[in-house]
Amino acid sequence: NNLPEFAEIKLIQPVYTLCDHNLDASIQAFVNADPEAATAARLLDKQLDAAEKDLDRELITVMESHHASLEGYIHLIFVARFLERVGDHAKNICEDTIFIERAEDVRFTKDKRAEIQAAGV
């Protein structure tokens, strides 16, 4: 690695922490066949999405004045995006847990279901 030490890497910690908690809670809900825990864990995805968007905005702002470190910032943006995708998969685990235990499809809101049915999908 020829890149200098990148102090801003600490900025990703909140996104990582939320991702880790989200994935752990989702897996525990699945393993324990606990739809209530899955419902609670599923809501963590919104927090993770918001944290990732906040980090993106912060990094883009910093990038505007630190052109020499662009490569490092771009890597951080991608890592944050990948962590957010892990959160999406954790949410899918929760949705599957709820479906397995309750036979209830919670993937879509009522409005989205109506839209899908109207489209004949």
Burial class of residue 96 in the structure, from the number of CB atoms within 10 Å of its CB (0-12 exposed, 13-18 middle, 19+ buried):
middle
Question: Are 22 and 48 a contacting pair, CB within 8 Å?
Answer: yes
Q: What is the pLDDT along the chain (121 residues), one digit of tens a residue?
A: 565 677 788 999 999 999 999 999 999 999 999 999 999 999 999 999 999 999 999 999 988 888 888 888 999 999 999 999 999 999 999 999 999 999 999 988 776 666 767 777 6
The backbone torsions φ and ψ at residue 53, rounded to the nearest 5 degrees and listed phi first, read -65, -40
Q: What is the rounded CA–CA span in Å between residue 104 and residue 38?
A: 12
Instruction: Assess if CATH 1.20.1340.10 describes domain 10-118.
Output: no
Which residue in 9, 27, 19 sits closest to 71, CA to CA?
A: 9
